[in-house]
Amino acid sequence: MLNVDAASRRSAAISRGVGVTTQVYAARAQNAEIWDVEGRRYIDFASGIAVVNTGHRHPKVIAAVKDQLDRFTHTCHQVVPYENYVRLAERLNDAVPGDFEKKTIFVTTGAEAVENAVKIARTATNRSAVVAFTGAFHGRTFMGMTLTGKVQPYKAGFGAMMPDVFHVPFPLELHGTTIEDSLGALDKLFKADVDPSRVAAFIIEPVQGEGGFYEVPKAFMAKLRDIADKHGILLIADEVQTGFSRTGKLFAMEHYGIAADITTMAKGLGGGFPIAAVTGRAEIMDAPGPGGLGGTYGGSPIGIAAGNAVLDVIEEEKLNERAELLGNRLKQRLHSLADAVPQISDIRGPGFMNAVEFKIPGSSAPNAEFTNKVREKALAKGLILLTCGVYGNVIRFLAPITIQDDVFGEALDILESSLRECAAEARPA
């Protein structure tokens, strides 16, 4: 598994700030499988962190990119625009939840989408403050990490954060924070720290990603929308990780029947090629003046071509329905192990955005050590898993939604054997 030469060269050449989860050096990949430089095969339950929802190198995405390569690779849309940029914007305007006129901009990364959403909200409201939530992840730029509700490793050592950003406890009953607790903290914030008339936006992930795959309770999302409307605050839905069928809907906000004013997206939109977007109410999106938004590589022709193909694949292959099917199979297998693996404290997640959380048996204390041992054992057996959560005690499952049935079954067998073996090793002698 470990390519010693590549690992030593990487250590010598690349900043240690760019961490890695595995020492698997990829040579090729197809759908839900990766082969390393030494020929070993792995089943990919990470998808490049929810990027290749449509699988590695989906034939339709690759064909669209190859066709675009034969036409042109870059003009900068702000200099010489292109039609497929407009077409993808039109499709997202139609697809993003909300029965109102929308407009879209394209950028390159999820963090950049978040940055632009904040710029747009501040311009549209003529306000500066933004309220985010503990456990959130919104990127590694200065505004992104300021909005992020987790210190290690995202904020540690980087100095003062951006001003006028406030955090409210995320409603998480599993860990003792009720909806009423979160709403009470928000009310206290408005009384003690920031006048709501100065708040431009709330920003929230419908399902927290890095924070642990916790869903926003429907009652809380509805109340947040009401509070936003009462005070003239915009609601930004960060759908960077939840978007593009991961939760069984094209966008996770569809589960709530509530429309955000602004939606950020990236990851799964490009099917492996860099592209991100911000879609929102037309009058809000038009608030910045010409030149206030954009970027040299924003809406790269290659990413745009991939994005249009991804939307085609989602529709043609019915990936929303498949995400529900796969997620249910995964959760059923995990539930069947509850007695054999007493470290399991919770199994959750909509669609195929699922997670299992681990505790120290006999208590509710998080068990990061056991979590990492499961990840390592699965990796040794050929299954790539990711951990997450403020305490590092959650395994999240992000396999391509296009994963073949037989490969998925093989992965579940590896997962089960890894869990059983780690549980057996943890039992007192």
Q: How far apart are CA 61 and CA 59, in angstroms?
A: 6
User: 368-380 and 405-426 are packed helices; what angle lies between their axes, rounded to 10 degrees?
Assistant: 130
Let me know if residue 31 belongs to a domain: yes
Structurally, how many domains does the chain consist of? 2
User: What's the pLDDT at 418?
Assistant: 98
Let me know if residue 17 belongs to a domain: yes
User: What's the pLDDT at 143?
Assistant: 97
Q: How far apart are CA 106 and CA 428, in angstroms?
A: 55
Q: Residues 52, 111: one domain?
A: no
Let me know if residue 32 belongs to a domain: yes
Let me know if residue 261 belongs to a domain: yes
Q: Residues 53, 137: one domain?
A: no
User: pLDDT below 70 — which residues of the chain?
Assistant: 1-3, 429
Let me know if residue 39 belongs to a domain: yes
User: What's the pLDDT at 383?
Assistant: 98
Choose one of 316, 348, 364: the last residue of a domain. Answer: 316
Q: Residues 104, 32: one domain?
A: no
Q: How far apart are CA 266 and CA 277, in angstroms?
A: 6
Could you report the per-residue pLDDT of 18-31, keeping only the tens digit for each? 888 889 999 999 99
User: What's the pLDDT at 2?
Assistant: 57
Q: Residues 94, 171: one domain?
A: yes
Q: What's the CATH code of the domain at 10?
A: 3.90.1150.10
What is the gyration radius of the CA atoms in the chain, in angstroms? 21
Could you report the per-residue pLDDT of 256-265, keeping only the tens digit for each? 999 999 999 9
Let me know if residue 78 belongs to a domain: yes
3-state SS of the chain is CCCHHHHHHHHHHCCCCCCCCCCCCEEEEEECEEEECCCCEEEECCHHHHCCCCCECCHHHHHHHHHHHCCCCCCCCCCCCCHHHHHHHHHHHHHCCCCCCEEEEEECCHHHHHHHHHHHHHHHHCCCEEEEECCCCCCCCHHHHHHCCCCCCCCCCCCCCCCCEEEECCCEHHHCECHHHHHHHHHHHHHHCCCHHHEEEEEECCECCCCCCCECCHHHHHHHHHHHHHHCCEEEEECCCCCCCCCCCCCHHHHCCCCCCEEEECHHHCCCCCCEEEEEEHHHHCCCCCCCCCCCCCCCHHHHHHHHHHHHHHHHCCHHHHHHHHHHHHHHHHHCCCCCCCCEEEEECCCCCEEEEEECCCCCCECHHHHHHHHHHHHHCCEECEEECCCCCEEEECCCCCCCHHHHHHHHHHHHHHHHHHHHHHCCC
Choose one of 289, 316, 343: the last residue of a domain. Answer: 316
Let me know if residue 402 belongs to a domain: yes
Paired tokens of 345: 């404290």
User: What's the pLDDT at 298?
Assistant: 97
Strands 41-44 and 383-384: parallel
Find tokens 């990949």 and name the residue: 29
Q: Residues 328, 390: one domain?
A: yes
Cα angle for residues 315, 317, 267 (degrees, 5° grid): 70
Choose one of 316, 340, 355: the last residue of a domain. Answer: 316
User: What's the pLDDT at 151?
Assistant: 92
Q: Residues 306, 421: one domain?
A: no
Contact residues for 245 (Cβ-Cβ < 8 A; gap 6+): 53, 268, 314, 319, 320, 322, 323, 351, 352, 401
CB contact burial 109-125 (16+ within 10 A = b; e otherwise): bbbbbbbbbbbbbbbbb
Q: Residues 391, 255: one domain?
A: no
Q: Residues 78, 173: one domain?
A: yes
Q: Residues 190, 88: one domain?
A: yes
Q: Residues 309, 282: one domain?
A: yes
Domain that holds residue 409: 4-57+318-426
Q: What's the CATH code of the domain at 121?
A: 3.40.640.10
Q: Residues 206, 85: one domain?
A: yes
User: What's the pLDDT at 72?
Assistant: 98
Let me know if residue 103 belongs to a domain: yes
Is 214 buried (19+), middle (13-18) or exposed (0-12) by CB count in 10 A? Answer: buried
Q: Residues 158, 192: one domain?
A: yes
